[in-house]
């Protein structure tokens, strides 16, 4: 079995292609059922977001799996043929597929590195797959490990701690000035999108009250309802500044709306408690001279963008640490998958020898009907001990070599030596004759050289 991924993202496809392939959550179950109906596709998870559409699957044959999943994606939107789709797709298998999933989960492949939304989207996609029973042992393990890797990256790096948007950079700076935003009051002057987004972030961080003013009174009333705040007449907002801990300004005015004397008056009324002013307007609406007012902290759009660029550079440094974690975790997952490959052989070997043992014990017992129950248990125990000793070294070797380059050769050898690919319900007549001779006339030389069980365990360990 092979783990593969086929998909496209913001890196390979424009939004007009991504939106055609996007699968709404209400249709995910149906899409997954259709995916796993394709020949050779054994397991599947479908991750569909605004920035990517990806199919993670376990398939019998890699090339056939690629073809079937590409066919599935084309069938998702009939207006896109496979030929139109192919230039935008990427294909990965094995360690590259697993590494890609881990990087996606850890937001290393996101448009904004370190964003947290993608992990929740992956969890939702996995839950839908589980609910529709389109995953199995392999995909369950790989996706759970991806979620674990993402959590490790967030715990052991600072990749998500530094703002990389202008609106959130404003919040980050506000938290540096006030340390705690609980019970703080925001005055929003104007209705620019970045200012409104910053206001939402501030409210999410504990800001208590929002006061809003615009040149259009009804617009201020509508925004106040949206934010759960209070409208303020535009010609009175300077009087309200004294009650505001944070002033966000974003209007289309071509001149300064707030001067140094306005801020000085507000700070005096506040008893010199600090005031944080953010001017996201272009042209600027707050006079830069405000920076000279004690206890007034002014930042304009350039200050915020500089902060964002600094944080973005720091995130990239943290991303390098995260990439090393991904490599480490991919290695551990591949070892697990290789061990999984040898498991059927070990199970078959144990089943094979247990079957042979049981057949031979029953033959002996039928000829030794006079034995007591205790003696019968001793005979069966001896048979089990012999079998365990005979296959012990094989079992140890298979487990030890599974991750080596010769691992597949050892597995194949074990299957051939013990005839694990053949039916083993009854011994042949030759085996029958030899086993009778062995039990009735044990070889004294072989018995003399038999290695004690404790010694076998010691060397195997």
DSSP type of residue 12: T
Query: What is the maximum alpha-carbon separation in the chain?
Result: 113
Whether the Cβ atoms of residue 281 and residue 294 lie closer than 8 Å to each other = no
Long-range contacts, 318-321 (Cβ 8 Å, 24+): 318/114, 318/157, 318/158, 318/159, 319/108, 319/113, 319/114, 319/157, 319/159, 321/156, 321/157, 321/159
- 248/199 Cα distance (integer angstroms): 8
- 91/55 Cα distance (integer angstroms): 10
Q: Which helix (H) or strand (E) holds 92?
A: strand 90-93
Told to judge if 50 belongs to the known catalytic residues of this protein, a careful annotator would answer yes
- 121/331 Cα distance (integer angstroms): 25
Residue 278: strand, helix, or coil: strand
The label of the residue with tokens 């056939």 reads: 64
- 49/401 Cα distance (integer angstroms): 41
* Active-site entry in 50, 332, 400, 437: 50
From the DSSP assignment, how many helices (H) and strands (E) are in the chain?
18, 10
Cα torsion through 154, 334, 39, 71, rounded to 10: 50
Q: In what order do the strands lie in the sheet with 52-59?
A: 41-48, 52-59, 2-9, 90-93
- 202/167 Cα distance (integer angstroms): 9
Whether the Cβ atoms of residue 421 and residue 354 lie closer than 8 Å to each other = no
> What size, in residues, is the chain?
461
Alpha helix (H) residue ranges in 134-270: 137-156, 166-178, 193-204, 217-227, 237-240, 260-269
Q: Which residues are annotated as catalytic?
A: 50
């Amino acid at each position: 079995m092979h783990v593969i991924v086929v998909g496209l993202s913001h890196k390979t496809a424009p939004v007009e292609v991504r939106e055609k392939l996007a699968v709404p959550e209400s249709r995910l179950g149906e899409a997954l059922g259709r995916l796993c109906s394709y020949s050779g596709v054994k397991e599947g998870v479908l991750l569909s977001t605004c920035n990517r559409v990806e199919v993670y699957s376990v398939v019998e044959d890699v090339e056939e799996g690629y073809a079937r999943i590409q066919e599935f994606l084309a069938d998702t939107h009939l207006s896109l043929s496979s030929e139109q789709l192919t230039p935008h797709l990427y294909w990965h298998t094995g360690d590259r597929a697993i590494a890609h999933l881990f990087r996606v989960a850890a937001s290393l492949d996101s448009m904004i590195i370190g964003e947290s939304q993608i992990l929740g989207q992956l969890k939702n996609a996995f839950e839908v797959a589980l609910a529709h029973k389109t995953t199995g042992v392999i995909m369950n393990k790989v996706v759970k490990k991806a979620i674990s890797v993402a959590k490790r990256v967030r715990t052991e790096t600072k990749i998500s701690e530094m703002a990389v948007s202008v609106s959130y950079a404003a919040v980050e700076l506000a938290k540096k000035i006030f340390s705690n935003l609980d019970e703080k009051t925001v005055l929003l002057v104007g209705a620019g999108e970045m200012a409104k987004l910053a206001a939402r972030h501030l409210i999410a961080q504990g800001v208590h009250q929002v006061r809003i003013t615009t040149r259009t009174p009804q617009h201020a009333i509508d925004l106040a309802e949206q934010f759960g705040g209070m409208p303020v007449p535009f010609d009175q907002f300077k009087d309200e500044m004294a009650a505001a801990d944070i002033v966000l300004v974003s209007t289309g005015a071509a001149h300064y709306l707030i001067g140094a004397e306005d801020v000085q008056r507000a700070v005096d009324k506040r008893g010199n408690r600090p005031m944080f002013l953010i001017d996201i307007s272009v042209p600027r609406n707050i006079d830069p001279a405000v920076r000279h007012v004690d206890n007034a902290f002014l930042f304009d759009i350039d200050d915020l963008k500089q902060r964002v660029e600094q944080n973005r550079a720091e995130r990239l440094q943290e991303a390098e640490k995260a990439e090393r974690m991904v490599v480490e975790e991919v290695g551990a997952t591949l070892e697990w998958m290789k061990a999984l490959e040898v498991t059927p052989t070990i199970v078959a070997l144990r089943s094979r020898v247990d079957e042979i043992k049981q057949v031979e014990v029953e033959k002996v017992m039928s000829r030794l009907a006079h034995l007591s129950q205790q003696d019968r248990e001793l005979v069966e125990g001896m048979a089990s001990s012999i079998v365990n000793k005979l296959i012990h070294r094989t079992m140890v070797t298979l487990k030890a070599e599974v991750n080596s380059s010769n691992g597949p050769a050892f597995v194949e050898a074990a299957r051939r030596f013990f005839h694990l690919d053949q039916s083993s319900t009854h011994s042949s007549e030759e085996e029958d004759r030899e086993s009778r001779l062995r039990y009735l006339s044990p070889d004294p030389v072989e018995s003399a050289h038999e290695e004690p069980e404790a010694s076998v365990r010691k060397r195997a360990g």
